[in-house]
Structure 1
């Protein structure tokens, strides 16, 4: 259920193949044992992969039952997929035998979907995806609640076929009616800096930059702030990792902010946006930086009053698994800058 993959600013092109039609030979047998050999499900995964044009080598993958999955923060899970196990460095899928997880009483297909979900983390390098279809169903097998629901049943072979198609190729979701959560034509703001959101990261070059987030006095405008005395040898930056952004295929994605500064000396400040997808290889998937957009070659400095910085990513694709916007101060810059109304907008195709 939990994806161990943590992005460290390393990010590839996803190679998808259309699936063949579902046939009776591809309908799985019902497994009656309480704890059947997990290789049954791995073999099934391999069969489905071959139907979609992939020939995998699983020699670098470990699969096993364990009595309990408990992490260092004391949280427990019914299944876990590591694309790099912290103990062994190998791709790993673990399934818990803990009675509270209910594996022994699950249907064959519910076991399959949980095991395939963890392989999605461990072998296909996919994060969780909570997007829904217009009918309320989850769009992807990578939903975090896969262990709590039945994604598909024995009498729903076409639905099973879709979920497996989407597992290997995220573009399969474009055949569905997707609930984007908003009408981008009326409300184009997909993301903005909100003070209530604690999940931001930064790099201060060993203390050579001071970074901050807040609201300007006597104003409702939120800001990202970066300042330096000019001693920075590397860039200082603040960034936010957005996983599996729910944006329509083909849309234009715009990163925009207004920069304010009293007197920036030196190179100045910029914004950047990095986009990542996955590439499936014989021994599993890797994560690749598919696009890098930045104003760093032309930073702005001096006195800045609501100076607009903007980047545009045309033709967004649902192959994207991470989208990361940055506010940046260049090395050797002295002074303080505020990135106000830092937001991402979406213009549908």
Structure 2
């Protein structure tokens, strides 16, 4: 399967432009008085990491104030974390001096909240995680739905300890009551092909495959479609990146679809699932492929009527930061195949 290297690049690119805590108030704050040395917060992060068993070398990391962080005409942000800065190639945290962010008048702990969040992006390679605890609080310091200056406060030492524990080791969340937003015993479908979701991607091997998404008129079932005249030199595929999947620890994750085709000739079609976590080293985290499951060694072809393809990933871990399901057509295949009811199901551990 010739597509593994592309996804790490895509993920790095996305994280490289992650910005946090957009300002909602266009009215400037009172005159700003003080911008403390950001090294204070970098040293503090290093100390907190040591308390949790990690001795980072942060000498290659850049931290700096900037006048403004503007992502688009209408979006001004207070912080940004780069895994690889587009100009320097270094891990970088930038903090905005914009009056709307009011950094100069924030308390020390409020500044720490945002700075540590950006370190999660820049050093630990973490995306945003918007899962909630059962009490409605964010499950992670990496939330983007709450104001990142105020995730924990001065008088909440136990809460602060939890959020920093979880920042460095996502398994710390397993000690909390987590809101999974559904009862997987009653409704095991975690993800399905939703036509309203525009964030599907594909590779057509320079036009040698036709890729489609739609709904069968007769049944109303959504499908992913792949077709070729047999001239594909690499696999053709459709895929969807699922960031920080909110799935219980130890659950079994199932990728399942029903394939329909008329006289599909050649090698045929398959499905695949790639799963990624991070590995923390002395200079920060790297993206690691923890699992690769595929039916490609045994593709199916011929006359296919609701032919089920299934992959099972046991013992899911919350260290997973993203996973990617694929619908695949093998090189040399001729014909059209439909992947119906393409979905991921979850069997919670007993």
TM normalised by structure 1 equals 0.90
CA-to-aligned-CA distance 1:84-123 (integer Å, 9 cap, x gap) = 1111111110000111112122221111010001010000
Contact 1:204 / 1:211 at 8 angstroms: preserved in 2?
A: yes
Q: Does 1:8 align with 2:35?
A: no
Contact 2:113 / 2:149 at 8 angstroms: preserved in 1?
A: no
Aligned position for 2:300: 300
CA-to-aligned-CA distance 1:317-347 (integer Å, 9 cap, x gap) = 0000001100000001010000000000000
Q: Does 1:83 align with 2:98?
A: no
Distance 1:250 1:347, change over 3 A: same
Instruction: Report the 3-state secondary structure (helix = DSSP H, G, I; strand = E; otherwise coil) of the residue aligned with 1:269.
Output: strand
Aligned position for 1:138: 138
Aligned position for 1:34: 34
CA-to-aligned-CA distance 1:140-187 (integer Å, 9 cap, x gap) = 000014545511111110100000000000000000000000000000
- Larger RCO (CA within 8 A; separation ≥ 6): 1
Contact 2:255 / 2:312 at 8 angstroms: preserved in 1?
A: yes
Distance 2:72 2:330 in 1: 37
Q: CA deviation at 1:10?
A: 8.0
Distance 2:151 2:41 in 1: 16
Distance 2:11 2:333 in 1: 26
Contact 2:259 / 2:307 at 8 angstroms: preserved in 1?
A: yes
Gaps of 5+ in 2: 1-6, 13-31
Distance 1:283 1:212 in 2: 42
Gaps of 5+ in 1: 1-5, 12-31
TM normalised by structure 2 equals 0.90
Q: CA deviation at 1:302?
A: 0.4
Distance 1:271 1:277, change over 3 A: same
Contact 2:225 / 2:336 at 8 angstroms: preserved in 1?
A: yes
Aligned position for 1:16: none
How many residue pairs get aligned? The number is 324
Contact 1:10 / 1:289 at 8 angstroms: preserved in 2?
A: no
Contact 1:62 / 1:93 at 8 angstroms: preserved in 2?
A: yes
Contact 1:268 / 1:301 at 8 angstroms: preserved in 2?
A: yes
Contact 1:110 / 1:147 at 8 angstroms: preserved in 2?
A: no
What RMSD, in angstroms, separates the aligned Cα atoms of the two structures?
1.6
